[in-house]
Amino acid sequence: MNLPFRRIYLVGIKGSGMARLALLLANGGCRVGGCDGKEDFFTGRSLAESGIVPDVGFDRSNLEGQWDAVIHSAAYPSSTDILVYAKERGIPLYSYPEFLALLSTLRPTYLAIGTHGKTTTSAMSDHLLGEEGGYWAVYGSTLLDRKDSFRKEPSFHLFEGCEYQDHFLLYQTTGAVLLSVEYDHPDYFADLADVYDSFKRFVDGIEKGGFFIYNNDQAGSKAIGEYAKATRTDLLALSFGFDQKSDYPIVKEQGRRYRIGQIDTLLTVETPELVIDHLGALLLATVIRSKNVDPVRMKELAPRLATFSGVVGRLEYMGEREGILFFDDYAHHPSEIIVSLREMRTRFPDKSILVLFMPHTASRTHALLDEFAEALTGADHLILQPTYASARNDEETDPLALYAVLKTETDCTYAQDEDEAIAQALMRLKEGWLCITMGAGNNRALNSRLLRSFL
């Protein structure tokens, strides 16, 4: 890949995106090391299989030896001791998005972006493109059904682009698909207009002659798409959605079948909530390979979507105990919670749903308090947990605020810690129920503990 570094150390290496980047670099011929906390994450197994054993903790002594560069998760500020030490030693220092930005200057780079939906759409695009290979894909999870074989010399990159702190503006982008634009990250964006401004600047920065594909059904995405069509006439700008005025409209047929207008292609989708992600991924993968929407190519790729089995942490099935089905889901924004619970109602219409929800960031929870309360009433039973300790320095001042709203709206209790959450769940769960650990914290570990409790 002509990288200027051969020995790279990653701080926060267990994070989903960071771990995937570590594997890409290791398989690309780099010597890779890293460190993280002692918590177990789903990435641990893949790192171990590649011979990468993370150091525990963030002590500067971990960085002894020869390193050409240090990459750190954006969750860790530059004041973190090990990063201060790297700077003192003169080792080139990159945040995770800064390093991806460097990679984007070396090969054509395509992004899935949006307030939500980008991880699933990235994964679906990866699944569609995977049989032919020849690229590096980095996003916030990993496919459930494929063991990656990483190419040392990729011809292009497929990245998930996050709007937080305008990270996606760093990339040299050839083309992108946009799923949604809503208010989020209140610790950075002042209001929805501020979020819109960030996405508009992203459109402004796409390479001349590139493309921009957008969801025409979601108001924010549609507004940004119309901005792209009005201001970037040099781009291939395409809309898709159930809105029949879209460039690629979706028409529901019988059962689980959906017809895509213009090219007369059928998609078979388990739940209607995922149709937009499916079509967004199909359009993205087609344009990446064909440089345009080639109907023949699109029809060839479409059947592969039927074999997409999901990604880690996105309504991932974890197991069954005594007739109870356990799932883990990363949903941490009200709109994501609504979609996840709606999907589970569609798949399991006769089952009661117990959700153990861990809010992620105090600023988001309080800025969207009413929206969270409304979204979470979609569960039959709810156990609220303390706000996940964030590295964003937004301390929780009223941990019971969400509970105070919800306790009068639904069957809701509050658990002070993991042990109490497990005890409450075990007292309430019944045969035939669904149990979902939900949130952007490390609730996956809680799910595993619950499963072990039945053995």
What are the tokens at 226?
Answer: 């119309």
Give the H/E segment covering residue 66. none
Which among 323, 377, 322 is positioned nearest to 350, based on CA atoms?
Answer: 323
Give the H/E segment covering residue 403. helix 401-406
- Structural contact between residues 33 and 91, judged by C-beta atoms closer than 8 angstroms: no
> What is the edge-to-edge ordering of all strands in the sheet holding 156-161?
135-138, 156-161, 109-113, 175-178, 211-215, 236-241, 248-252, 257-260, 265-268
Output the pLDDT for position 130. 87
Which among 212, 216, 215, 187 is positioned nearest to 200, based on CA atoms?
Answer: 212
Output the pLDDT for position 418. 93
Output the pLDDT for position 182. 98
Task: Report phi then psi at 372, rounded to 5.
Answer: -60, -45
Profile the chain (455 residues) by mean pLDDT over runs of 10 residues. Answer: 86 91 89 90 82 92 94 89 96 96 96 95 94 86 70 85 96 98 96 98 98 97 98 97 95 89 82 89 95 88 90 92 96 95 94 96 94 96 89 79 91 95 96 95 85 86
What are the tokens at 78?
Answer: 């530059």
Residues 399, 402: Cα–Cα separation, whole Å: 7
Chain centre distance of CA 224: 20
Which among 110, 121, 111, 108 is positioned nearest to 282, based on CA atoms?
Answer: 121
Q: State the amino acid at position 277 in one-letter form.
A: D
Residues 343, 347: Cα–Cα separation, whole Å: 6
What are the tokens at 264?
Answer: 């007369």
What are the tokens at 282?
Answer: 């199909």
- Rg over alpha carbons for the chain, rounded to the nearest Å, is 22
How many angstroms separate the Cα of 248 from the Cα of each of 213, 239, 251, 282, 315? 10, 6, 10, 11, 28
How many angstroms separate the Cα of 208 from the Cα of each of 174, 201, 203, 215, 253? 8, 14, 11, 21, 38
- The DSSP line for 96-147 is HHHHHHHHHTTS-EEEEESSSSHHHHHHHHHHHHTTT--EEEE-SS-BSS--
Output the pLDDT for position 443. 82
How many angstroms separate the Cα of 294 from the Cα of each of 244, 246, 286, 313? 20, 17, 7, 33
Dihedral of the CA atoms 424, 427, 432, 435 (nearest 10)?
A: 10
The helix, strand and coil proportions of the chain, stated in percent and rounded to the nearest 5, come to 40, 20, 40
What are the tokens at 66?
Answer: 């020869």
- Structural contact between residues 216 and 240, judged by C-beta atoms closer than 8 angstroms: yes
- Structural contact between residues 173 and 206, judged by C-beta atoms closer than 8 angstroms: yes
Output the pLDDT for position 343. 92
Q: State the amino acid at position 113 in one-letter form.
A: I
- Evaluate the CA torsion angle 266, 225, 179, 125 in order and state its sign: positive
- Structural contact between residues 112 and 125, judged by C-beta atoms closer than 8 angstroms: yes
What are the tokens at 210?
Answer: 């590139």
Tell me the longest C-alpha to C-alpha distance in the chain.
Answer: 64
Instruction: Return all residues near 340 (Cβ < 8 A) that are at least 6 apart.
Output: 315, 329, 331, 436, 438
